[in-house]
Amino acid sequence: MSQVITVKGVSKPYDCIIGSGVISLLREKIKDVTKAKKILVVTDDNVDLLYGNRITELLTEGGFVCCKYVFSNGEENKNMETVTNILEFAMENQISRSDCIIALGGGIVGDVAGFCASICLRGIDFIQIPTTFLAAIDSSVGGKTGVNLRGGKNLAGAFYQPKLVICDTDFLNTLSPEIFSDGTAEAIKYGVIFDKSLFEKLRKDFSDDIENIISRCIYLKAQVVSQDEFDTGRRQLLNFGHTIGHAIEKCSNFTISHGRAVAIGMVMASRGAYKMGYTDKDNSIEIAKILNNNNLPVSSSFDIENLLDVMVRDKKRQGEEITLVIPEKIGKCVLKTIPVNSLKEFLKCAL
């Protein structure tokens, strides 16, 4: 069985196809969404070993001319140097404006390849094939692409929607438990922001229900993206746990993964909100419990000054204000804009 969720309300609606074995649809579906004759597959070294040949063979059998760029896995490679290398490779392989880039991998590959597609020849078609749980439920959908700069996470990027997302749940079978649970952190995030029943499902073993969990998360993301593609309002709710999370990732020199950093960020943001008097209930307790059950961390030992230094450079800052996401209760978050100079007090409450 498979499910299809269409992301609407963006310049061109696109389908996300979710299910076991759906990669077999790749050839026919590509032809529906792009006129490309040549396809540049971008992936990382781990994913290449597992799935690279299979994808290029599928494409070649489908009559496409195919080339592949492989970069080393890891957040430290999500940078402009990798982008430049991919673009140079695209030009050496004579990728033209009617051709297409496929991102085959986790969130890092998706963010980097999507950004390349957005600027290659001023924009070429782009397809996401997510291979991590996190990429399946979050980063492959919604069109946020980009790379890190020395100053912090995702500071250079573009909104650039894919033409198609193909999420074959079989790819998730090769993930380590740790990398799988990075995605669980983002799934819990959706539960806290929008959907208490999703949150409840994630309390138990959901391995038999993975297709439905992915579909539900994508549905929730598609709804919010269609209302606010460019992240000026409601979409900011998806940043729950991310302002602190990004600072933790950066302070750890990216040794703490995105999913784990967001897990800690959600607990800290909830506790900080309660202690600052922004919410009536301390939701951090329930959130920490579900994260713990999923082997995710709930605290960090970084000091406030270090975190603050990164947070004030967060791209969500607008002048002297920054918008935080605050859980009123499980299933409902709100945006709260505070002065940047209150962040220190907030962080003290959050620890």
Q: Could you list the residues that contact ligand NAD (CB under 6 A)?
A: 44, 46-47, 50, 73, 75, 78, 105-109, 111, 131-132, 134-135, 138-139, 142, 144, 153-154, 171, 174-175, 179, 182, 258-259
Identify the burial level of 261 via C-beta atoms within 10 angstroms of its C-beta, where 0-12 means exposed, 13-18 middle and 19 or more buried.
buried
Q: How far is the CB of 277 from ligand NAD (least distance, A)?
A: 30
Q: Which residues of 29-55 are buried (b: 16+ CB within 10 A; e: fewer)?
A: bbeebbebebbbbbbbebbbeebbeeb
Which strands form 332-339's sheet, in the order they lie side by side? 317-318, 321-329, 332-339
Q: How far is the CB of 320 from ligand NAD (least distance, A)?
A: 26
Q: How far is the CB of 144 from ligand NAD (least distance, A)?
A: 4
Contact 41, 69 (CB under 8 A): yes
Q: How far is the CB of 140 from ligand NAD (least distance, A)?
A: 8
* CB nearer ligand NAD, residue 183 or residue 272: 183
* CB nearer ligand NAD, residue 125 or residue 182: 182
* CB nearer ligand NAD, residue 65 or residue 335: 335
For ligand NAD, the nearest residue by Cβ is 107
* CB nearer ligand NAD, residue 49 or residue 285: 49
Q: How far is the CB of 88 from ligand NAD (least distance, A)?
A: 22
* CB nearer ligand NAD, residue 190 or residue 278: 190
Q: How far is the CB of 231 from ligand NAD (least distance, A)?
A: 10
* CB nearer ligand NAD, residue 144 or residue 216: 144
Contact 4, 36 (CB under 8 A): no
Contact 224, 203 (CB under 8 A): no
Instruction: Pull the structure tokens for residue 181.
Output: 């649970």
